[in-house]
Each structure stands twice: as structure tokens, then as C-alpha cells.
Structure 1
């Protein structure tokens, strides 16, 4: 079974430029290499480089000055009163922090979407932890964590007891890696029969599903956290610089 995974080229460039900024190789206030320089160094087409630089600008890593170029701002500061990004919060949340009921914990066959996110072959075995989260006595979300079987083997991830640390800590310890970034995918759909029963929603209800794929610095995926949210009970909010 192969765990080889190649992230999109623009994502590779984003990760490398963030690393260089964090390490001080590109200090705050310095001029970022030009598009042509980055194209030559990384062997990427201009649209790929422009896309990566646009993401870094939107996230606050760099700033563009008309006629002068792009300058490094440094790692974006997150205001104290701003919530963590959805995927990060899910990775760090412990099962004891919320009123929850464990629905499943053990090996299953990975759905095609999960196998693709984890760069696994179809029908590969993964360990699934699924919980129903309640607030004020009402079900508000279903959260599922999908981890490759060889990573979860011998850990608390496959056990029926509540996890007292966030998923991130268990995965990093078991795999011997440091999770570096998250790629989120958000979809909207109608509920399955099981979800209708668990969440108490109608067949026509709109559900939001957030897939948070956590990767190491090379872009290799290690865990997927899937959260199913009734659309009428949740609002997803994000904040980022416009400069």
C-alpha cells in the first residue's frame, strides 16, 4: 500500500515560502523574489506562482506595493478574540470538552472521498472515530475522524474510551511527524437516513460537511476530520486581510 502523495504545485510553493518566512530566510520587510525568479527556481508556470502568491497575500504573509513588488509581512497574527480556523479547532478539540456520544471506534473500509484525501488506494482500511456532539441537550453535529490503520494501530484512537487529548496529538505521536497545515473542503448535501435520525432533521434539510485534511510540511496527509453540520444551526465564518 502506497502512502506517496503529491500536493498541488501551488500548495507546495505556499508551504515552502511560509517555511522560509518563518525561518527568517525571508525576513519581515524584505522584498520577496520576483515571479520570474520563483518560476525558474521551482520550475512552475506563471499562473501557478501567481495563485500561490495570491493565497499568501490573502492570508497576510505578504503585501503587494504597486510598482515596487511584494514584501514580506511575516506570520499573520491572529487576534486574541478571533476563533481558530475550523479545521484547527477540530484537530485540537478533545472529546471531553463537549457533550458527546461515541458512535463508532474501529477499522472500516475508507469511502472513496476519504481514501483520496489520505492518498490511499480505494477500499483501504482506516480507523474511524465518530461522535455525536450535543449542546444544551440538542444534537448539533456529527464528527468523524479518519486515520490510516497503520497509524492508529495500538493507540487510543481505536478504543472506546473518550480521548483526553486532541486528535492532532495522537496522530503526531503515533506517526512521528509534526502536522504543518490543513486543507479544508466544504460541501453541502441532504442527510443520509442515519444522519436524519441522529440530528433530528428532515430529508430535505441542508447539511454542511467540512473535511479538514491535516498534512505534514511535505504535503503528506495523515488524518481527515469530517464534521457534518445542520445548515440551519451553523454559520461558518472566516477573517483574513484584504491587503
Structure 2
């Protein structure tokens, strides 16, 4: 998703701050203006400023230090600016690296789309681990892990505590399976009532659904990671060489 497809004020603020960092107005190591200063200068709302700062932090332009503010890192190198696919990030990064709370962990009826990705009968039961992830103290996304019930047995997936290792490493070490590749799909839709409440979203704001279907070397489905992203708080970017 490019900046042109997100709200204009949000896009304008991100681009302006990037130009100021590249131009030396905000040199590396300097303190970025506060949220209140940016609100006053650009005459935008606080959610617009927060969303823009979140993108800059996730892309590596700035760093946040609790109680001190946000500091400029400079233009990130290509490998730092390149955003991981959402599904890959949540499969490989320890849950302890992100703040949040556990919403659900246990057997649940499979939605039709998840059932198809897992090659299981619709409405049959599978294991679900669902977390609400927060960023800078605000709800950021809902992450749901689905897998067959027998694959969840003997794991720590029912624990309310964040996993100290990535989901892939945890399941592979406990169950002896191998996560070989991921097929990722992205769709857009309007959120459910519960998602609006959990994510603190404004009305009439769509969400992006990211489905990461994990398969073993033989192509057999092992798990599905479903990530719900509010469209006004996230951008999806890819970087790749031109052959």
C-alpha cells in the first residue's frame, strides 16, 4: 500500500518529516518535535500525528524512548526500510517483543476461509490463539493463530503470558514439524462490531485482513495466521531489486 492510498493529511505529514530528516533539519540523534508541537504546526489531529510517527518508527526513521521522546535515526538503509511481511513477522518474532493482551486461547469453530486454508471441514473445531497487539499504548492489530487441535497439544499456546520465542520456533521445537513456506493473502473489508471496540476505530474505517497460510515441505497446511490491521494506522510496503 503506498502513501497515496492513505488519508492525505497522514501521508503529507509522513513525507514532510522524511524530507526534513533527509535535508538535515532534523539530524540523526536530535529530538523530534513533540506530538503537541506537530499538531500545532501542521494543524492536524492527534490520531493523524500518532499514525504518522508510528510509520516512521516502524520504518526505522525514528526511535522512541520512554519518558524522553522520539529521536531521529536518519534515513534507514534499504534492508531496514524494507518491511517484513506481516505474517512472517508474527511467525518469527517472539511475542514478548510486542505489547498486548491475550483475547482467546482454546478450541473454536473454524470460519470458512480459515477452514479452506487448513484443508479442514467448515465449522469443525481447531485451536485458536488470539492477541490484541498494542503500539505506543494504543491498539494496533489483532493477531489470530489457527491450527489443528492435535498440533496445539503439548505447547504453551494456551498460556496468557507472551511467548518468549516465535510461534514458528515454539511449534517446531515442541511438535517436530517444519514450517517451510507461507502463502500470504491480503483483503479489505469493514470491521465487525467487536473489532471496532477492541481496536478503538472510528466509524466507517475499513480493515485489512492478512492471511498467512503456513505449509510444510510437502505443501501440507500446518497453521494459519490471520492479522487484522486498521487501514488508517498501517501501510504495507515492499522493497525488492530490479533484475
When normalised by structure 1's length, the TM-score is 0.64
> How far has the Cα of 1:80 moved from its partner?
5.9
Q: Which runs of 5+ in 2 are unaligned?
A: 1-77
* Cα displacement string for residues 184-227 of structure 1 (whole angstroms, at most 9, x for unaligned residues): 01010111010010111134111011011111111111111111
Partner residue of 2:201? 201
Aligned structure 1 segments of 4 or more residues deviating by more than 4 angstroms: none
Aligned residue for 2:239, secondary structure, equals: coil
Distance apart, 1:161 and its partner CA: 2.6
**Native 8 Å contact 2:129 2:146 kept in 1:** yes
Aligned equivalents of 1:93, 1:236: Cα separation in 2: 18
The CA distance in 2 between the partners of 1:107 and 1:170, in whole Å, is: 19
Query: Per-residue deviation at 1:146?
Result: 0.7
State the partner residue of 2:127: 127
> What's the offset of the Cα at 1:163?
1.3
- The CA distance in 1 between the partners of 2:151 and 2:174, in whole Å, is 6
Partner SS state of residue 185, structure 1: strand
Question: How far apart, in 2, do the equivalents of 1:143 and 1:242 lie?
Answer: 32
1:167: which partner in 2? 167
Does the Cα contact within 8 Å between 1:187 and 1:208 map onto a contact in 2?
A: yes
1:214 and 1:81 mapped to 2: Cα distance?
25
Correspondence list, 1:12-27, <5 A: none
Aligned partners of 2:122, 2:228: CA distance in 1, in Å?
23
8 Å contact from structure 1 (residues 188, 206) kept in 2: yes
Q: Kindly indicate whether the alpha-carbon contact (under 8 Å) linking 2:185 and 2:211 is maintained by their aligned counterparts in 1.
A: yes
Q: How many residues align?
A: 166
Write the deviation string for residues 70-113 of structure 1: whole angstroms up to 9, x where unpaired: xxxxxxxx946534332211101222111111111111111111
- The one-character-per-residue Cα deviations of 1:110-131 (angstroms, maximum 9, x if unpaired) are 1111111111112222111111
1:1-243 maps to which residues of 2 (within 5 A)?
A: 79=79, 82-243=82-243
Q: Deviations over 1:156-193 (max 9, x none)?
A: 11232321111101222343221111100101011101
**Any conservation in 2 of the 1:151–1:174 contact (CA below 8 Å)?**
no
Q: What TM-score, normalized by structure 2, do the two folds share?
A: 0.64
CA RMSD in angstroms comes to 1.7
Name the SS of the counterpart of 1:164 in structure 2: coil
In structure 2, C-alpha distance between the alignment counterparts of 1:108 and 1:100, rounded to whole Å? 21
2:25 maps to what in 1?
none
Helix, strand or coil: the match of 1:158? coil
Deviation, structure 1 residue 141: 0.7
